[in-house]
Amino acid sequence: MIDFGENLPEKRYIDLTPMIDIVFQLLIFFLLTSIYAKPVLPVRLPESASAVTSEEPEITIGIDGNNHLYLNNQPVSSQRFKPEIASLLDGRADKTVHLLSDKTVDFGRVIEVMDKAKQAGATGISVVTDKRKPE
């Protein structure tokens, strides 16, 4: 070997710069993607063995665990529900709505909301459930 007379000191530390760069890129990625995330109602859906996964519904009715009513993820009072859904259904060819209800909500409340939707012009109501895991 040829000796050039210089001894380079060994690195005795780990360079953390690449790891910090990656962590910041992940942070930016999650911040940007969370901006565009659609808000979801905090409901625990009942399960059904025949549940089908479909596209995002156009008109959704939600009832959370506290019996609060939502129309397309926006809170709405019981008095304003019928006129609001009637205006959404006006002029549409497909007048089907999708109902998301927490499994702890009283069945009578669900029927009341379904009845108001029918009176407002909904021709079909699809009840949204989670897919039950096979036993």
Provide the residue ranges of all domains of the chain, joining segments of one domain with +.
47-131
The answer to whether 94 and 126 have CB atoms below 8 angstroms apart is no
Select the more confidently predicted residue: 81 or 2.
81
Distance CA 80, CA 132 (A): 34
Three-class DSSP category at 37: coil
Of 14-23, 54-63, 88-97, minimum mean pLDDT range? 54-63
Q: CA triplet 104, 43, 117: central angle to 5 degrees?
A: 85
* 113-126 confidence digits (pLDDT tens): 999 999 998 888 88
Q: What distances in angstroms separate CA 28 from CA 4, 17, 20, 22, 23, one per listed residue?
A: 47, 17, 12, 10, 9
CATH of 47-131, picked from 3.60.20.10, 3.20.20.70, 3.30.420.270, 3.40.50.740, is 3.30.420.270
> What are the two backbone dihedrals, phi and then psi, of residue 131, each rounded to the nearest 5 degrees?
-75, 125
What's residue 57's pLDDT? 47
* 73-105 confidence digits (pLDDT tens): 889 998 999 999 888 888 777 888 889 888 889
